Structure 1
Amino acid sequence: MFTSATPCVAFHDDRQIAEGALSAVARLTKPLLDQGDSSLLIFDATSSELIQFDIRGSIDDVLARLPAPAAVAPDPQPEAAAARGPGRPKLGVVAREVTLLPRHWEWLAGQRGGASVALRRLIDEARHANKDKDRIRHAQESAYRFIAALGENKPHYEEVARALFAGDADRFARWTAEWPADVRDHARRLAAAAFDRPPTAPVSVDPAAANR
């Protein structure tokens, strides 16, 4: 879900025309949106999901309708915390129901610190073990959303997509070399986190070499 503070990037045809918080990007792009220009696309700068919003009325009307960022909830009063039941809200610990088989509860009960500590430790270990895989997957998904929206009619689109999911930075750089500069550069920025290392190949396209 986007808010008025969501970082965005706007492209008109193949040219990047705005970047920043959605409220600022909306202000800059509203004249084109009012014209019904379908070649203007606004992307979430992190996920590359397309952002659409109600453009009716003045820019003040538009901005007033944009969801505001979630406010940080104040620390609960003692009586409110007591009403919540189990958990340690001030530390960010919240009690929720977990459904497990008897053998799982038996194993957890024998762990140092009890079930809650053991579950938190297991989750933290899994997050740490998978953080590189998660980073790569999120980067691939974001870059692919962008190139699917703006690169599908560009030269070597299929080769670019294959290089992205193969984790081949050199081929990705080589095949995007002929793309318009703004689209190429943004696609490379998005894809960078999907590669274990930056590209080292020259940016000139050599189809024969790329197919080896």
Structure 2
Amino acid sequence: MNPPPATDYIVFEGDRRIAAGSLRDVVHAAKEVLDQRKDASILIFDGVTGGPIDIDFRGTVAAVLARLPGSAAASAEDATPSAPRGPGRPKLGVVAREVTLLPRHWDWLAQQPGGASVALRRLVEEARRHGEDRDRVRRAQDAAYRFMSAMGGDKPHYEDAIRALFADEAARFEKLIAAWPADVRDYALALAERAFHLETEAGSG
């Protein structure tokens, strides 16, 4: 089965997905359900982090939406004067910040072509390139874990599925959660798919 792609936000009523998309879309859908059923069990998840988010559902739909981050009302409340820029080359996006190193580190940097700043930027870029895949997998694992902890803790084979997620065992993971409610299972697969992406690419080559 191919799970649906992860979305910006997703909202569940119990184990049933009721909406997915922008934060305004899912909050609007959730508020409509809560207005119809005050005891509805609603959870909204961030599609990037996999974690649940808290929404103040008091008042009308318009009032709830006005309190969301990025809304005109919320933006006006949060507006603050821009802080003056520090030293650096702001037009190029370069900002100066303090770096603390041992004397031998400074000595080594000073001997590099272009000086300390150029050498540090080069080292950071190399580290980023080598760490991107590992960091992406870790973030995907964490997102799937957060969602599964909130929605799957009482589901069959939950603990085994978590172990399979962190052990990079995609086929076993899918098998273990196959009996979960469809919407919960499919979204867990969509989040976890990013953690198993390297394995998928290797198998398709």
Query: Please, what TM-score do these two structures have when normalized by structure 1?
Result: 0.79
Structure 1 gap segments, 5+ residues each: 1-5, 72-79, 200-212
Deviation readout 1:126-156 (Å, 9 max, x if unpaired)? 1111111101100110001111111111111
**Which residue does 2:191 correspond to in 1?**
190
In the alignment, does 2:56 pair up with 1:59?
Answer: no
For 2:17 and 2:97, locate their aligned partners in 1 and report how far apart those are by CA, in whole Å: 45
DSSP 3-state at the match of 2:150: helix
**Which residue does 2:179 correspond to in 1?**
178
- Counterparts of 1:38-117 in structure 2, within 5 Å, are 39-68=41-70, 84=85, 86-117=87-118
- Number of positions where the alignment pairs a residue of Structure 1 with one of Structure 2: 183
For 1:184 and 1:67, locate their aligned partners in 2 and report how far apart those are by CA, in whole Å: 29
Deviation readout 1:100-131 (Å, 9 max, x if unpaired)? 12111111111111111111111111111111
**CA root-mean-square deviation:** 2.2
Q: What's the offset of the Cα at 1:38?
A: 5.8
**Which residue does 1:125 correspond to in 2?**
126
Letter in 1 for 2:133: D
For 1:108 and 1:7, locate their aligned partners in 2 and report how far apart those are by CA, in whole Å: 42
Q: What's the offset of the Cα at 1:187?
A: 0.6
Asked whether the 8 Å contact 2:141–2:192 carries over to 1, the reply is yes
In the alignment, does 2:164 pair up with 1:163?
Answer: yes
Query: Please, what TM-score do these two structures have when normalized by structure 2?
Result: 0.82
Deviation readout 1:164-197 (Å, 9 max, x if unpaired)? 0100001001111111111111111100111133
Q: What's the offset of the Cα at 1:36?
A: 4.6
**Which residue does 1:74 correspond to in 2?**
none
Q: What's the offset of the Cα at 1:37?
A: 3.6
Deviates more, 1:125-134 or 1:56-65: 56-65
For 2:161 and 2:69, locate their aligned partners in 1 and report how far apart those are by CA, in whole Å: 35
Paired-residue identity, % = 57
In the alignment, does 2:146 pair up with 1:145?
Answer: yes
For 1:99 and 1:176, locate their aligned partners in 2 and report how far apart those are by CA, in whole Å: 48
Q: Which has the higher contact order (CA 8 A, sep 6+)?
A: 2
For 2:86 and 2:164, locate their aligned partners in 1 and report how far apart those are by CA, in whole Å: 51
DSSP 3-state at the match of 1:197: helix
Letter in 1 for 2:182: A
DSSP 3-state at the match of 2:28: helix
